[in-house]
């Protein structure tokens, strides 16, 4: 199965690379090439970026084995929840996960389940062994290059919320993702206010 995925990923990347190289030519029709790229790779997805609060600080203090332990534990706990909610893992880099879901509903429910599960796990752990999750959710049309990578405005927005803005145990969500949820949910979302400043996005209460 891994060999098949590698072949699919390689072909997708090769196709994109050829189109980009064509786009770089001085006489290229960039508008037409862009349309072809979006036609080939453009898809609507909900995106989640996760990050672990205090991770770098604790790694510097307790060492690389502590780093590996927290990574192992976080993935052991979270990956089954992600798969249960129809999520796809695109990347795992350090203490961060990049995930996609077909619906914002699935992404939100997965985020809530991850946070609640970790709260139970952390209750019996000393402070430096707690897995403290930060979550950012976005939704929109993105470029999906097989299972290798994703690109787009909502990818960047979800990354900023999850990796830069969210605090431990928080779930932050973009305006686009809230709009996609519409009135089909009972979640409460509040505009983001960070240190007295209004920030693009919302905080989900769960």
- Domain borders along the chain are 42-205
Is residue 121 within 8 A of residue 131, CB to CB? The reply is yes
Question: How many angstroms from the chain centroid is the CA of residue 53?
Answer: 15
Q: Cβ atoms within 10 A of the Cβ of 180, count?
A: 19
Residues 189-198 have a mean pLDDT of 84
**Percent of the chain beyond pLDDT 90?**
73
pTM exceeds 0.85:
yes
Is residue 164 within 8 A of residue 63, CB to CB? The reply is no
3 state SS of 149: strand
Q: How confident is the model at residue 1 (pLDDT cuts 50, 70, 90)?
A: very low
Q: What CA–CA distance (Å, rounded) separates 205 from 106?
A: 16
**What is the tens place of the pLDDT at every residue in 29-61?**
999 999 999 999 999 999 999 999 876 676 677
| 42-205 topology per CATH | Alpha-Beta Plaits (3.30.70)
Is residue 32 within 8 A of residue 75, CB to CB? The reply is no
Q: What CA–CA distance (Å, rounded) separates 15 from 98?
A: 23
């Amino acid at each position: 199965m891994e060999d098949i995925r590698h072949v699919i990923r390689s072909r997708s990347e090769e196709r994109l690379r050829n189109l980009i190289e064509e786009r770089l030519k001085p006489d290229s029709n960039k508008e037409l090439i862009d349309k072809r790229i979006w036609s080939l790779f453009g898809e609507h997805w909900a995106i989640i970026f996760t990050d672990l609060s205090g991770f770098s600080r604790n790694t510097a203090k307790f060492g690389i084995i502590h780093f590996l332990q927290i990574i192992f534990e976080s993935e052991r706990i979270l990956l089954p929840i992600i798969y249960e909610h129809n999520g796809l893992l695109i990347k795992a880099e350090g203490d961060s996960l990049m995930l996609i879901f077909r619906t914002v509903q699935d992404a939100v429910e997965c985020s809530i389940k991850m946070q609640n599960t970790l709260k139970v796990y952390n209750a019996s752990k000393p402070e430096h062994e707690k897995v403290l999750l930060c979550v950012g959710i976005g939704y929109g049309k993105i470029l999906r290059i097989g299972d290798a990578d994703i690109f787009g405005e909502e990818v960047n927005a979800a990354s900023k919320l999850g990796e830069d803005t969210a605090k431990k145990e928080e779930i932050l969500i973009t305006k686009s993702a809230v709009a996609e949820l519409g009135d089909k949910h009972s979640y409460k979302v509040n505009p983001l206010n960070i240190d007295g400043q209004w920030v693009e996005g919302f905080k989900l209460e769960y």
